[in-house]
Amino acid sequence: MKDLKESGTEARFRLAAFRAVRATSLLLLHRTGTALVVKVVLCLRITLSDFAPDKQGLQPPTTLRDIFLRAVMSFQWIWSTYCSLVSAHDLLAVVFVSVLGWDRPDEWPPLFGSIWDATSLRRFWGVFWHWLHVSLFDAYISTGGRTIALPAAIPNWGGGGGGNLGKAARALCMFCMSAMCHAVTNRLMMGKANAAAEFRFFLSNYVICLAETVFVGALLGWRKEDRHLTACFAFMRRLVDYIWVSVIMFYSLLPGSISWYALPLDSESSRWFAVRVCT
């Protein structure tokens, strides 16, 4: 028992040291990155016209300046979300595991997966992005499906095993519930739900994920294991995969998922304005 207690104490100490260092590093990197974004935006001399309706759609930007601004803001949104959630998760893990001792280290697994595994939009959402809501949504979907007798109509509605129709239907419900939760959060934080933009973003991502599964996997053989490919071809395929995900995020993220963004008008810190970047 003494050995087990010492082992548990050591694990809690290791978790506290690692999570505290990572949270501090991410917060510092986020602060530095935000300062760089501010400098970049100041150099671009943005105006409200840069966020006019014609700049918010899925059509390609027409100027190099538009492309650069959109790329910076899309990356900053993903990076800031990652930093804030991981830092908060790490600090809470330190409190509940190492300080209070209420939880075990294994009850606080990593919040995000590896970005190197995001080789498709489907893997971006399913492997890399956080799963804070997945278990809760999955429980509601399963319960709701049983209530209205969906298992008999849609194979694999209850999870596990085969049944592509059931998996597609569950994924659709998951994306719709995510859009609804984001709209509710927008309403609480900003006074406007922007539900149409949220559903447009999540449903467009669902359609693309479905297309990847149905068409890309079948036609291009993305499901083949890397060991069956030459090293050069495997590297090139992975590079194309990352470019594909980046392009999709570039065109879909800004119009749909960023509701408000604080941007500087000039070098005076007092002159900031909040810009709505979704319709």
**What confidence score (pLDDT) does residue 127 get?**
86
Q: For 169-214, how does the pLDDT look when each residue is reduced to its tens digit (9 = 90+)?
A: 888 988 998 889 888 888 888 788 788 888 888 898 899 988 888 7
Clarify whether residues 91 and 121 are in a common domain: no
Tell me: do 6 and 50 sit in the same domain: yes
206 and 128, same domain (yes or no):
yes
Q: Are residues 82 and 203 in the same domain?
A: no
Distance, C-alpha 96 to centroid of its chain: 25
Same domain as 198, residue 148: yes
> In sequence order, what are the beta bridge partners of 273?
263
**End position of a domain, from candidates 90, 111, 132:** 111
Q: Report the pLDDT value the prediction gives residue 253, as an integer from 0 to 100.
A: 63
pLDDT at 154 over 90: no
Residue 58: closest CA among 207, 241, 211, 275: 207
Please give the residue that has the higher pLDDT: either 124 or 270: 124
Domain end call among 85, 111, 137: 111
Q: Do 49 and 137 reside in the same domain of the chain?
A: no
Question: How many domains, the chain?
Answer: 2
Average pLDDT over residues 113-137: 84
The residue that leads in pLDDT, 70 or 22, is: 22
Considering the domain architecture, whether residues 207 and 251 belong to the same structural domain is answered as yes
Categorize the per-residue pLDDT at 257 as very low, low, confident or very high, splitting at 50, 70 and 90.
very low
Asked whether residue 102 falls in the same domain as residue 121, the answer is: no
Domain that holds residue 24: 1-111
Boundary-marking domain end, from 81, 111, 141: 111
Name which residue leads in pLDDT, 231 or 163.
231
Q: Are 171 and 51 members of one domain?
A: no
Structure tokens at 206: 């669902």
Same domain? 69 vs 171: no
pLDDT in tens, 46-92: 766 666 666 666 565 667 777 777 787 778 888 888 999 999 999 99
Q: Are residues 87 and 173 in the same domain?
A: no
Mean pLDDT of the chain: 74
Write b or e for each residue in 150-165: b if 16 or more Cβ atoms lie within 10 A of its Cβ, otherwise e: beeebebbbeeeebee
Q: Which two tokens stand for residue 177?
A: 């519930």
133 pLDDT band, cuts 50/70/90, is confident
The answer on 161 and 98 residing in a single domain is: no
Check: CB of residue 20 under 8 Å from CB of residue 90.
yes
